[in-house]
Chains A and B, each alone.
Chain A
Amino acid sequence: MDTGLLVIQTLNGLQLGVLLFLLAAGLTLVFGIMDFVNLAHGSIYMLGAFIAASLTRLSDSFVLGVVLALPVVAIVGLVLERVVIRPLYARDHLDHVLATFGLLLAIDTLAHMIWGPEGISVLLPEWLRGQVEVLPGVIFPTYRLVIISSGLIIAVLLYWLVNHTRLGMLIRAGASNRTMVSALGINIDLLFTGVFAIGAVLAGLAGMLIAPITEAAIGMGNDIIITAFVVIIVGGIGSMKGAFIAAMLIGLIDTLGRSYLDGILKAFMPLTAAETAAPALSAMLIYILMAAILALRPQGLFPPRTR
């Protein structure tokens, strides 16, 4: 096996994993604390990409574009929570799914109205466009390494926020027992709004980070949001640690499956059968994993200790 290729594909898998984690972190917080299913989370990812793309063009700097886009996405999250999401907390999951599906259609179309049907490419600054030799003879784009490291830094920050700050304590308490937290005099509405905005910023950031690679496009969030749901279910709903491990796992399985399943199947199947089965199976791999986990261990791999 070609070690260089394996290293590159592993890094690609980690990059996907990091993006999934940024999406899943918000999703699992909102789900864990407010018991709210948000299909429109992927639309915030898309909005992040578009807003950063526009601001990058205005400011002529990708870094500045991202820094300016983050508060804008936070405001979008705040407004959404106040106007659409809040009345839904008391409803059942069916209503959550339907209303946020409607929200997704509306946001996608709004983006279409504002930015047009074409995708918008995002230009990276010179110093991010190069490549790095990660191992002797193995080169990897600098920017993708930046994505991986910023994702890991944010994971550490989130870990610190959730486990070592007062806000994090409230978040964990809210996830275990909402009623008790509000009975102790905590403004639970404000906490919910804050958590939703944090989730929106993380999702928006994921969209901003991927935009220079894929470009900002209408509907870009609609596939990855489903994968992010797979992540939080595999990891255990409400668990930040679970979301991180599952995101990395699924990023790696998906990427490595697509590149190596072909070869593995050829080892014990006729050539043509393997060539037909491999792409189908590799695309289905993460869903098979999720179905297996739901059937055998429905609470996920790392469920939060108290629910």
Chain B
Amino acid sequence: MSPAPATSTFSRLRAAGPGNLGGVVVLALLLVLPLAAWWTGQKFYLDFATRITILAIVATSLNFILGYGGLISFGHAAFVGIGAYCVGIPAYYDLASGFVHIPLAIAASALFALVTGAISLRTRGVYFIMITMAFAQMAYYLFLSLDEYGGNDGLTIYSRSVLPPFNLEQRPQLFLLAYVSLVVVLALKHRFVNSRFGMVLRGARANETRMIAIGFNTYAYRLAAYVIAGAIAGYGGALLGNFTNFITPDMMSWTRSGDLMFMVILGGAGSLFGPVMGAVAILLLEEYLARLTVYWQLPFGLLLIATVLYQRGGLNGLIERLGGRK
């Protein structure tokens, strides 16, 4: 998988395929356009880009297990919600430090992933889909019944995490934090996927029996991947809580998990930049269609069906084909 040694970044990307080149373009535009818009006083676009960036982080974490590991987790929104409540609940007690919020979000979602993953990964196929969804529903109902923290009405976060050197009350700084995080997560994913660990994960997806036969404990590798993905999604949730300033258990509902899966599939599961492209495409489309009509979910749903039926490999695959590669 690793590209041949090349001199410049550009040629290395070209060697890695047009999909990655397209991904880098999308990533660059995601940085330049919102900042330019901010400069010219169009503040809305910066907020919009922040939301896209945060969801791209979450979608990337899901792609790690879904695309590379072949684990169809239908409860990924739970990690996001847990991460967000790890900002909301301390903030409710006037504990504002981001150095508490973020480690707490990562630790709590990783722990949730460890416990639920240890049970879920004993199952296969459709049972795995359903058990991950069941655990997410448990988290959903748990937070729904916590009246102290707003219950169904949600919880308002009055002040964002204090995280020097960033000042998250400044919108460009929150955006930059999210953007830097996305780049770091992408870089980490790239390294993971091409490491021995990633090879075992992908091998277990392709042929689990063979991986076990040659002596790998696939269960342990999958569990580790599940925990890493959960922790990253929890971090994304902490960012999302800071961004929206308002969190509800609805963030964990199963339809949100479905949205996240849609991002990964539309972008292209098992590709580096696919989930970023998916998050960009879906949120742009949602924003655009929602302005046109209140019935925007109709074309949205039809697009999802069409993507599944006709567009294998998602946007990333489309770019690869247009770029002349299979």
Which A residues fall within an 8 A CB radius of B? Answer: 31, 37, 39, 84, 87-88, 91, 93-95, 97-99, 101-110, 112-113, 222, 226, 229-230, 233, 237, 276, 279-280, 283-284, 287-288, 290-291, 294-295, 298
Contact = CB atoms under 8 A, between A and B. Distances in A.
Contacts of B302: 102, 106
Interface stretch (B6-14, B183-191, B221-229, B303-311): B303-311
B301 interface: yes
A110 B293 CA distance: 13
- Leading 5 A-B pairs by shortest Cβ distance: A102-B304, A105-B301, A106-B301, A283-B141, A280-B145
B122 A291 contact: no
Contacts of A106: 297-298, 300-302, 305
Contacts of A37: 126, 129
A279 B145 contact: yes
A280 B308 contact: no
B301 A102 contact: yes
Contacts of A222: 255
Contacts of B137: 226, 284, 287
B304 A105 contact: yes
Interface string B252-266: 001100100110010
A87 B119 contact: no
Nearest to A237: B126
Contacts of A104: 301
A98 B262 CA distance: 7
Contacts of B131: 290-291, 294-295
A95 B266 CA distance: 12
A298 B119 CA distance: 11
26 contacts: A91-B308, A97-B74, A97-B129, A97-B258, A98-B261, A99-B308, A99-B309, A101-B262, A102-B303, A102-B305, A106-B302, A112-B295, A226-B137, A229-B130, A230-B134, A237-B126, A283-B141, A283-B144, A284-B142, A287-B135, A287-B138, A290-B131, A291-B135, A294-B122, A294-B131, A298-B122
Nearest to B135: A291
A226 B137 CA distance: 9
A84 B200 CA distance: 36
B146 interface: yes
Contact of A102 (B294, B296, B308): B308
B273 to A, nearest CB: 20
Contacts of B296: 109
B261 A97 contact: yes
A190 to B, nearest CB: 22
B150 to A, nearest CB: 14
Contacts of A291: 119, 131, 134-135, 138
> Among the interface residues B144, B304, B305, which one has the most CB atoms of the partner chain A within 10 A?
B305
B209 interface: no
A88 B138 CA distance: 30
Contact of A295 (B119, B138, B300): B119
B301 A109 contact: yes
B308 A284 contact: no
Contacts of A87: 309
Given A105-B298, A226-B254, A98 B265 contact: yes
Contacts of A108: 297
A81 to B, nearest CB: 14
Interface string B117-138: 0010011011101110111011
B102 interface: no
B72 A93 contact: yes
A149 to B, nearest CB: 31
Nearest to A299: B127
Contact of A103 (B74, B127, B301): B301
A112 B300 CA distance: 14
A280 B142 contact: yes
B226 to A, nearest CB: 15
B35 to A, nearest CB: 33
Contact of B146 (A109, A233, A280): A280
A135 B225 CA distance: 57
Given A110-B298, A276-B148, A279-B145, 13 more contacts: A37-B129, A97-B74, A98-B308, A99-B308, A101-B255, A104-B301, A105-B300, A106-B301, A106-B302, A233-B127, A276-B147, A291-B134, A294-B130
